[in-house]
Amino acid sequence: MKSIKVRLELNNEKRSLAAQHAGTARYAYNWGLAKSQKAHQAGLKRPTAVDLHKEWVVFKHTEATWAQSVSKCAPQEAFRHLNNAYQRAFQMEHVRLPKFKKKGQKDSFYLEGSIHLKGNRIKLPKFGWVQCSEMLPQGVVVKNVTVSRQAQHWFVSFKIPYSKTLQKAANQSIIGVDLGIKTLATLSDGQTVAHQRPYRQQKRKLRLAQRQASKKYIRGKSDQNQSQNYKKAQAQVAKIHYKIACVRKDALHQVTTRLAKNHSEVVIEDLNVKGMSRNHKLASAILDGGFYEFRRQLTYKCGWYGSKLTVVDRFYPSSKTCSGCQKVQKELSLKERTYCCEHCGLEIDRDLNAAINLRNQAVSYTASACGVFKPPNDSLVRDTLKQETDCKIENVQDCVSSV
Ligand SMILES: [Zn+2]
């Protein structure tokens, strides 16, 4: 299945209806959570999603009459979410018990039933026809959607089936991709993709907006009771965050689509992003680049296009190996931007060298068309692999030097 997420163009009336739905979903979640906690404390069985919904129907007709104008799907799905959250917490050790939801944080709700798509419009239960920001897929059946808010915008997301593999470009080749701090991606064919650093670009604006908001914040008052001016300033902060996220996502989508569509096999490195992020100087550079997101997108897009994604072991010394003669250099600091091989005299851009090495690790790699690059010597690779694994990475700097 393929996920689609499109912005909704809501008028004021539908905008408040959306807010009402999200509010009801949140209220129901918290209402169910309070009941579950009570049952838990009393040593009773936790109410299931079905139990909660039955109670909710009674509650809705007696006390919470304001919830009657909202689709029943919204609270129903909230109870299912709550149930899942509990189950995850019980099954997995590192997952905590569900917490109460706050207004404005991840506002969303669920709808199902009669949903139709036509051109750039979508028909939703309770909402009727709603304009979208772009064309929607045609001839597909959508059974349910999630509507969520990001900054000032509302989005609709749903899943559609996709034909097993999408049309690929004609000339397919194997490509190695080296992700870095200087350039987002260096490809083994010599092309590079520059970093978009939206956070860095927007940092000043963001700080200013945050300062404005904090000036207007009145202590001792709850978030809901803050002034209109504070809420406006807060919306401005959210708008900048949203812009940053959009720029980042768009840049990554472009490069990951290009890679998955144009290459039969894409080879990347298994980066220890967590380890690297511990180093403060590099942390923002790396997280800004969205390495995790890069791999996530590449994974599902390679699925769409039927390309192979090979992830090379983290301990493979892609930066320290010479792409010409396969000898491994012992020392290579992050500052050295050019790789100079002492053995064969090769001088090559550091990132390109790593990208070529990664490409040579491709599973389906046999011989290159131009004959310049030799296939990897298996025993040599195994040796270096072992070497690197033996001398465990002790500090972050080491880890980074293999980027
Ligand atoms: Zn060499």
CB-CB contact of 17 with 23 (8 Å): no
Q: Report CA(329)–ligand 1 centroid distance (Å).
A: 9
d(CA 343, ligand 1 centre) in Å: 5
Q: Where are the domains of the chain?
A: 2-160, 165-195+239-403
How is domain 165-195+239-403 classified at the CATH fold level?
Answer: Nucleotidyltransferase; domain 5 (3.30.420)
Q: How far, in Å, is the centroid of ligand 1 from the Cα of 342?
A: 7
In the predicted structure, residue 389 carries a pLDDT above the cut 50: no
CA of 347 to the centre of ligand 1 (A): 9
Return the pLDDT at 268: 93
Q: Could you tell me the distance, in angstroms and rounded to a whole number, from the CA of residue 339 to the centre of ligand 1?
A: 9
What separation in Å is there between the alpha carbon of 181 and the centre of ligand 1?
A: 24
Q: How far is the CA of 288 from the centre of ligand 1 (A)?
A: 34
User: What is the spatial distance between Cα 244 and Cα 288, in angstroms, rounded to a whole number?
Assistant: 9
pLDDT digits (tens, 9 = 90+) for 67-79: 888 999 999 999 9
Q: What is the pLDDT of residues 199-237, one digit of tens each?
A: 888 899 999 999 999 999 888 888 778 888 998 998 999
φ, ψ for residue 340, nearest 5 deg: -115, 115
Residue 241 CA to residue 238 CA, distance in Å, equals 5
The residue behind tokens 């408040």 is 16
Mean pLDDT in residue range 292-321 = 87
- Kindly give, in sequence order, each residue whose CB lies less than 8 Å from that of residue 18, ignoring residues fewer than 6 positions away: 8, 10, 109, 127, 147, 149, 154
| Cβ atoms within 10 Å of 212's Cβ, excluding its own | 16
Cα–ligand 1 centroid distance for 182 (angstroms): 23
**Residues 208/239, Cβ–Cβ less than 8 Å:** no
